[in-house]
A and B are shown apart, each in its own frame.
Chain A
Amino acid sequence: MLSLLLIILTSIFFMGIVIRTKSLASGRKGPGILQPIKDIIRLWKKGSVYSTTTSMIFQIAPTIYFSSIVMAILMIPLGNQSGIISFGGDFVMFAYLLALGKFLMIISALDTGSSFEGMGASREALFSMLVEPAFFIIIGSLALFTGHTSFYEIFSTLNYGSYISYLIGALATFVLVLIAMIENSRMPVDDPKTHLELTMVHEVMILDNSGFDLGIILYATPLKFAMYGALIANFFIGAVPLEISIPLFFSIQIIFAIIVGILESFMARFRMSHNPQFIFLLTSVSLLIFFGVLLVLGKFI
């Protein structure tokens, strides 16, 4: 329950920090921290325009996408506080739920009949397929490391003993940050601020959405960021009392947002054809984590 509240709270200011960091890095003052969420609330108050080509799918997809992310957040713990739903192997559910949301967004893009949106949909499908193995290997390694298979049990028993385990933690954080960037279609693979539809991934898929639907799709992005940020925060929190873990959680989220902003300011987008290699590279890095875990556990026999 607590983690859900904290994640929702984070999602309100997360994008603001990212945008602030970016504007500071480019020498501007930038909008207020709450500006992105104000934009989203403005969208919720608007009417909608639907394409004549679209069908029911287009209307229900954003709702299901948003709900799937909220349901995924329900499984995330905070240190030794369990998530609302927790069972052995819940991370499989977590990944598949996010995949469900993506499935619906992809077909809703195809529903508009626009070739630009089809292009974005095709890329989204490919990239999310490529990024999933990395996530599973990381969580699998952590599961092996701790001997448990649910988010809550993994994170509440995670403790660092040897030097290698620090390395594992650092690598896992690195990979998770990049997974979060890819899943949200941010900088190294996709540029949300680009002005050419041909080079977009996620932004082009939602060209035809408007009003409430666009609002919840846009709100899903900070929610997903905060969700991954919570996962990263859990690497460091461990079993500490609440008065330490909550400030720690927020500071990690803020650092994460600043890192995202810095990455976006100083990194160029890859060429579209290089993205698959880059994303698959994450899988090999996460295999390193797996071998590190095997080393720590002494399973290298």
Chain B
Amino acid sequence: MDISQIALLTLLVLISGIFGLGFVPSKNRASIAIIVVIINAVLTSIPSILALTGKIQTASLILQNLPGHIIDIRIDSLSAWFILIINFTSINGALFGSGYLKSYQDLKTNIGFHWIFYILFHISMIWVCMFDHGIVFLISWELMSISSLMLVIFEYQKKSTLKAGINYMIQMHLSVVFLTLGFIWLYTETGSFNLSSLASVIANNHSIWIFVLFFIGFAFKAGFLPFHTWLPQAHPAAPSHVSGVMSGVIVKLGIFGIFRIISYISHDWFIIGEIILSLSVITALYGIANAAVKYDFKKSLAFCTIENIGIIGIGIGVGLIGIGKHIESLTILGFGGALLHTLNHSLFKSLLFFSAGSVYQQTHTRNIERLGGLIKTMPVTALFFLIGALAIGGLPPFNGFVSEYLIYSGLFKGLFLVTGISHVILLILSIVGLVMVGGISIISFTKLFGIMFLGQPRTELHNEPREASFIMLLPQYFIVIIMLSVAFFPQFYFGQVINIIDSTFTSQLTLSNPQIATTRANLITIGHFGVYFIVLMVIVFAIRFRLLRKRSLNTCETWSCGYIAPIPKAQYTGRSFARTFGNLLGFILIKRKNFDKISKTSLYPTSRKFSTYYFDILEKYLVIPLTKRISYILNYFQFIQNGKIQSYVIYGLFFILIVFIGTVFKLII
């Protein structure tokens, strides 16, 4: 079957899915949505797997009304990699969501719309990866943004959710503005709307500006600093399965876009590589530092997504330095690490969001200071969260280590091979940055896991939390299996990634490069190492078990240093856990306190509230003042939107007139 037929078929499945969802009773909607997502996933996975094995799938649809008439569809190994990631995460998200939304079953209209937008969201992400034609690309991109917006504002009754949704919508449209400008420039330069025609833009002839436009457009989606401010707002507002899919996949489409334009544009990449490297290190550090001090666990996870985008960006930067200096091993390690981390992050981040979602479903709070001791009531969820936390910190023997290892190797290789003192210093500082990111992520995730799941419950919950339902745990099992396969057989995934780099950057890489063989051998050792580690743990544990079997085992209260009446509220909180760290980085993690002062005239004490919070300084001191300035100017144009229907009709008339005159006098072709 031709891939253009597949594209049409996905559209057909989508439309029938939407109709189907409209007519079935609300309790069956989730299963219909899951079926539609699976059908579309299977349809698009087949050509993707073919593309990964080396058969690039291209086709074109002919549409008379579009500029250029021909829509090129193309699945090469790069888009195939992302399509497979999207499919896997979306199926898991649908499964998890079907369980997660059970408690919202009574809101009939909500559920139907939600699932309609979910299947649209899934297929539009795949279309983004498939279409080469600029306008169709933008339409898919826009469909993806809007459908995800509708998913985010599922609980639209809440004011904060709507606010986050509007914020998200505006930022996504800023991204579209940049992308549209990029495509228009591309058209004027080459006469084609195809992304692949970027290759025919002559180097150094505006190519850098086209790159910048596209990069900013995609950076909004990916969440590079300072375009990250939508992430910490949209992720907590969305239902957990949506945040899992958004964080796992949608931000990766920004990375996909960046890879795409890098692969087409020819330019002197060295300096750009260094800029991206520095930006990414700062992004990673900023993201994880904020994640460490937040009390809202979903917000913390959202900041952690920013961190991981930074890590992927470090890989891209190293790869670009490699292209710029013609050092193939840097390209292999940098891009390889970035692509593999894209997969890894989509796995463990969706796992974390899903298990955090189970917690939210049971406790109805996102504030970690109210939780505690959940490992006793939700052991499986706790285990999944722990696995996700260990993997996201890059700790062996989990999959996060594999990709971070590749990126570290790239940075160290860069130290050897790049000459020039300033470049070497940049590389060593990037290593320091990456190491600190690893250290801070340990602080954040010990905090999240320790405060949420361990100790004693800090507050009385409305109802006793119970383990999540099977349908919610099932996707998490799938994710853990794939994660372990990456951790123990990294060479397989590395091989795929090398094929992708080879076919995407054909001129930059020779497959016979000794670096590939060395890295593959090292990865095999890492896989074995993980096995040895587990064997050793089992042995030590068995010894412990045998020794303890014969001895007396007692239980008693936690030793509280002589104090005999400890209460659960006196446990260490997330705030106190991260406080020293927060003070140390006080220049970017600014703390504010909320409390009423005791006035001199009040004689009797009454109950008071005291709270502290950390804010995002870039948002507060850069983004908000900037938008205020802009809206100050735009206020002068407010007379256009005056609320009178008559004037709106006149605007329409004017527009038609302009188009008419334009066509008569051949101003618009």
Contacts and interface: CB of A to CB of B under 8 A. Distances in A.
Contact of A55 (B375, B443, B570, B576): B375
Q: For chain A, which range describes its interface: under 10, 10 to 19, 20 to 34, or 35 or more residues?
A: 35 or more
A149 interface: yes
A211 B519 CA distance: 43
A215 to B, nearest CB: 10
B627 interface: no
A49 B559 CA distance: 11
Contacts of A125: 442-443, 446, 577, 581
B interface residue count range (under 10 / 10 to 19 / 20 to 34 / 35 or more) = 35 or more
Interface in A39-72: 44, 46-57, 60, 63-64, 66-68, 70-71
Binding site secondary structure of chain A: helix
A268 interface: no
B546 to A, nearest CB: 10
Nearest to A102: B442
A113 interface: yes
A132 B390 CA distance: 17
Nearest to B560: A114
Interface stretch (B197-205, B239-247, B248-256, B392-400): B392-400
A136 interface: yes
Given A140-B428, A301-B419, A118 B576 contact: yes
Contacts of A99: 393, 395, 438-439, 442
Contacts of A132: 435-436, 438-439
Interface in A9-55: 44, 46-55
Contact of B412 (A129, A133, A149, A211): A149
Contacts of B390: 100, 103
Contact of A100 (B395, B547, B551): B395
Nearest to B406: A89
Interface string B576-606: 1111110010000000000000000000000
A46 B544 CA distance: 11
Q: Which of B376, B394, B439 has the most CB of A within 10 A?
A: B439
Interface stretch (B44-52, B207-215, B448-456): B448-456
Contacts of A208: 558-559
Contact of B554 (A49, A128, A207): A49
Contacts of A102: 442
Interface stretch (A90-98, A170-178, A233-241): A90-98
A126 interface: yes
A46 B552 CA distance: 8
Nearest to B544: A212
A122 B581 CA distance: 9
Given A110-B455, A121-B450, A121-B577, A56 B439 contact: no
A262 interface: no
Given A96-B438, A133-B432, A140-B431, A118 B577 contact: yes
Contact of A110 (B408, B446, B554): B446
A140 B450 CA distance: 33
Given A50-B553, A64-B537, A87-B526, A96 B396 contact: yes
A96 B455 CA distance: 26
Nearest to B570: A115
Contact of A52 (B415, B445, B555, B571): B555
B439 A122 contact: no
Contact of B540 (A55, A103, A115, A216): A216
Given A52-B558, A85-B532, 7 more contacts: A51-B559, A71-B533, A89-B408, A107-B449, A114-B572, A122-B578, A130-B439
Interface of A: 44, 46-57, 60, 63-64, 66-68, 70-71, 74, 85, 87-89, 92-93, 95-97, 99-100, 102-103, 106-107, 110-119, 121-123, 125-126, 128-130, 132-133, 136-137, 140, 143-144, 147, 149, 197, 207-208, 211-213, 216, 276, 283, 287, 290, 294, 299-301
